[in-house]
Amino acid sequence: MPVRIGRFAVVGAVVAANIALGFALHLGTDAYLLLGIPFTLLFPLVLQRRPIRELWVRDEHPPRIDARVLAIFVVLLIYPTVELVRAVADLITHIEHGGPLDWAVCGYFLVTIPGALAAAWSLRALGRDGWRRALRCTAVAGGTGVLLTLYNTVGFGMPFPSLWPGLLTFAESMLLYVPVVFVMEEVFFRGALDSYLHRPGEPVDGCSAVGLSILWALWHLPVMSTHTGIVRTIILALPLQVLIGVPLSLWWRRSGNLAVPGLAHAFNDAVRQTLLYGH
């Protein structure tokens, strides 16, 4: 037990430092997500001294990067590349007209390149059992997120998306978020932090999954609207993040493949974007 408490203290300190920098630097969403990348690398490179590949796949004999991995990589890279080109064009226009520069947007789409490769490699490593776990995780964690998002949509009187614009928004969001979660947020909280909290072979520990999910909720604060008060914002955010985060952690531990929680996370975010912008 003291060992688990010590690990949680380390994880809490790292998340607190990430949050503090987010507030201190007044970062937007894209820049804040990018800030998480060095915090992610801190764990395999410094604190645990384990191969970086284990952030995505913990199999002792992971697949090689073969033609199938490269084919998936190319498919996953198409939409983020289009968005990167647009972001660079916008940046050039702003430079020419002396407008405000948002380098973080370009950085956000740029890091989807290694994210797409990590996603392709992880998807290749899933196998039949892994795909079944991914579908179950998406049904539980993604389904919970969808129900809570729908509840909020109805509660705030927001219109439901139109059919074709909604489907297009969902498809674009999935094509973007799948590479994104393999290099930001999901890889940080499950691939790095959860792997530090709970090691393979240790007894089932739901408390650490709950604790990490609470930290996950607090981690969002620098980029959340707190106009109703920070305490109320935390109270509203905690149930959603815990109900989604706990199954993400548990399925990551069972599978050892980030594609399992990653697909569920991407699905949940894509549905949220569809409800907000698919009109």
DSSP state string for 29-98: HHHHHHHHHHHHHHIIIIIS---GGGGTB--SSPPP--HHHHHHHHHHHHHHHHHHHHHHHHHHHHHHTT
pLDDT at res. 203: 84
The share of the chain scoring above pLDDT 70, in percent, equals 94
Residue with tokens 């607090």: 218
Q: Which of 60, 16, 6 lies closest to 196, judged by CA?
A: 6
Q: Which of 4, 3, 2, 10 lies closest to 39, judged by CA?
A: 10
pLDDT band at 188 (very low <50, low <70, confident <90, very high): very high
Instruction: Kindly report the length of the chain.
Output: 279
Question: Which token pair is 106?
Answer: 């370009």
> What are the helix and strand counts (H, E) for the chain?
13, 0
Most confident range (mean pLDDT) of 94-98, 101-105, 201-205, 251-255 is 251-255
Contact present, 35 and 21 (Cβ < 8 Å)? yes
The 8-class DSSP code of residue 106 comes to H
Question: Which token pair is 238?
Answer: 């905690």
Contact present, 215 and 63 (Cβ < 8 Å)? no
Report how far residue 172's alpha carbon sits from residue 176's, in angstroms, rounded to the nearest whole number. 6
Burial zone of 90 (CB within 10 Å; 0-12 exposed, 13-18 middle, 19+ buried): middle
Compare 91 and 266 and report the one with higher pLDDT.
266
Considering the entire predicted model, what is its pTM? 0.93
Q: Which of 217, 209, 216 lies closest to 249, judged by CA?
A: 209
Report how far residue 232's alpha carbon sits from residue 234's, in angstroms, rounded to the nearest whole number. 5
The answer, yes or no, to whether residue 225 has pLDDT greater than 80, is no
- Comparing 53-57, 91-95, 244-248, the range with the smallest average pLDDT is 91-95
Burial zone of 207 (CB within 10 Å; 0-12 exposed, 13-18 middle, 19+ buried): exposed
3-class secondary structure, 257: strand
pLDDT digits (tens, 9 = 90+) for 34-67: 999 999 999 999 999 899 999 999 988 888 999 9
Question: Which token pair is 246?
Answer: 């706990």
pLDDT at res. 95: 84
H runs (alpha helix) in 97-162: 103-110, 112-124, 127-137, 143-155
